[in-house]
Structure formats: C-alpha cells, structure tokens
Structure 1
Amino acid sequence: MIAYLIGNIKDKYEDFVILETNGIGYEIFIPFPFDENYIKIYIFEHIKEDCYDLYGFLTFKDKEIFKKLISINGVGPRTACQMIKTYGIDQLINYIILEDTKSLSQIIGIGPKISKRIVLELKDIFLKKYSQNIYSTYKYDAVLALMALGYSKLDSQNSVNNIFLPNDTTEDIIKKALQILAQKV
C-alpha cells in the first residue's frame, strides 16, 4: 500500500496531475489546487476489478476525511473529491457538523437522502475530532457581518477575537463585537 509519494509535478489537468517519482509517472486525482512543482502527496488507492486509481491529498487529515466520506453508501471517490474541491476540508466539516444538508446537496450526485446519511453517519465523529472548526466558522461569519456593516476588517477581527467564547453563536459574537466597536466611535 502506498502511504505517500514525493516527486515533481510534470503535468497538471483539471482533476488530476502526473507526479514523477524516480522516473515513474503516477496519475493522481486531486481535489485541491496547488502551485508547487515538488510536492509530497498522501495517497489513497482505490482498487476495483476494472480500475486502479490513486487519489492524492496535501495532508493526512485531508486523506482521512476523504476516507470517511467514501465510507458512506452512495458517495464514491469522485463525488468525495468534488465535495472537497467545492467547499474545502474545513467548510465541508462545518457543513456536516452543522447539519447543513442543503449545502451538501449542491454537489452533483449528492441528493437529499445521501446528504442526510452523510450528516447522520459523520456528524458525531467530526464533532469529536474537529469541533474547533465550528468556532472558526462562527467567528468568520461574524467578521463578514461586521464588515458588511461598514467596519474595517482589522477592527472586526480584533473585536471578534477579544470577545469570543466557545459557546457563542454567530449572533452572540456580532452583538458583543458591536458593543466594543460602538465604544471606539
């Protein structure tokens, strides 16, 4: 089993790259953009009767998330790659933890039933392992809301970081941050 490959990217295509390692070119499907030519890619081997595909990831965490996604009945490797490519790992984890089946259903091949199954089977696992991602989403959404109200990015970020508590919702964060920002004016 291949854990990872290190080599030079020889060709880049929309969904895959050719990675040359020791004179051998490996076709690797990837769900992420990158700029480097010399790279370490964590590999997942998808072997079936009619195919032997390699899927590559920049981090071991990304590979683990991918493996969790394809463990769900109805989610294949290409669909899981599309989910990661569309939302990114952290946002995808947030959608699952926050039970946002509507966003999950935006991916071709993921209907309402499969998105509910994804949430049902992965929410608790992701909540235990990646719950800090929710907090970053709440903070991020609050900063965007404050910026939409006309506050600078720096002031918005500083006020959110100063008042944030782990059990705060986005609305709580915005209310508290507005009180701080109002005192500055």
Structure 2
Amino acid sequence: MLKQITLSLCLLLLSFQTPDIITAIQHKCQEIDAAKPSFAHLKKNEDGISAEGAAIDGYYDISGFRIITESVYAVNSQNKTTLYFDPKNQLILVDDRLITYAVPMYDTTFNLKDSRTVASRYYFNQRKMVKWLGPRAKDSTHKKYADQQAAWLDYADNMVKQMTKYYIKNSPPNQRYLPLTGN
C-alpha cells in the first residue's frame, strides 16, 4: 500500500513538472536552431533505403551532435525525422514528419505547397520520454508509450553511432574535434 501511495505521489509530482520540462526542452531546441549556422555539417547519403533517395544530415560542435535529420524520399511522400541533442548526445526531442504529396514528385504539376503533413513530437529528459504529441499519441501508462520510447532511443543511438563512424571515416584526423569517446 505504501509503495502505491509513493508511486502515485511521484506520478503526480511528475505531471506538475512536465510542462516546465517541455518548456525547457523547447527553449533548448530554439537555442540549438539559432546556433545551427555555427555548427559543422556532415551529410551522408543512404544507399538502398529508398529508390528515390535518402540522406542523413548531422550538425555538431565540440560537445557532440546537436541535430541529426534523416530524410527518406518516396514517389508520393517524404519522411523527415529530426533529432535534437543536448551536449554529449543526450536526446531531447524527436520531430517526426510524414509529408504526403498531392501528386508524385516527378509530375509536372507537383507543388510542395499542396502536400499534407502529419507531425509527431516526442520529448525526452534523461533518456525518458516525458511527452508524446501527435495523432497517435498515447498516455505514459499505455504499453505503446514505453515501446515508442525504446524505439526512439535505439534509433537516436544508432544515428549517433552511424554518423560518428561516417565522421571518423571522412574527416582528416588533424581536423577532428567531435568528441569520440563513448560512441
């Protein structure tokens, strides 16, 4: 009984803290976006992901990757996933967007303005998802919430490893300043 009361109090306290955490994460992401022009940029084309093309863009500074965006193109759509990181590659936000085109992108009447976008956002604090926003969002007590948290953390870890490996392979050793420990 005492454990249930303690757990209930912790969940209640977390629910009051969540808006402050979300606001702090949004502020950090605005700062990261504002600093983006000062970051070093690394682009990796992904072969075999999609016939229409795919690429990963990594933006980093001396503290690690700050933004990683994966764009996967299809004839009628684009999936764009942007990951925001705190220093030391700690995931803080996933912005996942599916952009569906009104006509195929190679059609002469193609206009990106005619597209429809479905967006979901996932906020993280200390490797815990604190908020899921979007059309398929679930409450933190739902099983899919935990599954989604694990999937995004794995995805982010994989993107950091993949881009770090690409960085090591494609940058001269005397020009490296991305921290490589722990990756």
TM interval, shorter chain, is: under 0.3
Instruction: State TM-score, norm by structure 1.
Output: 0.27
Structure in which a larger fraction of residues adopt strand: 2
**Bigger relative CO (Cα 8 Å, ≥ 6 apart):** 2
Structure in which a larger fraction of residues adopt helix: 1
CA radius of gyration, larger in: 1
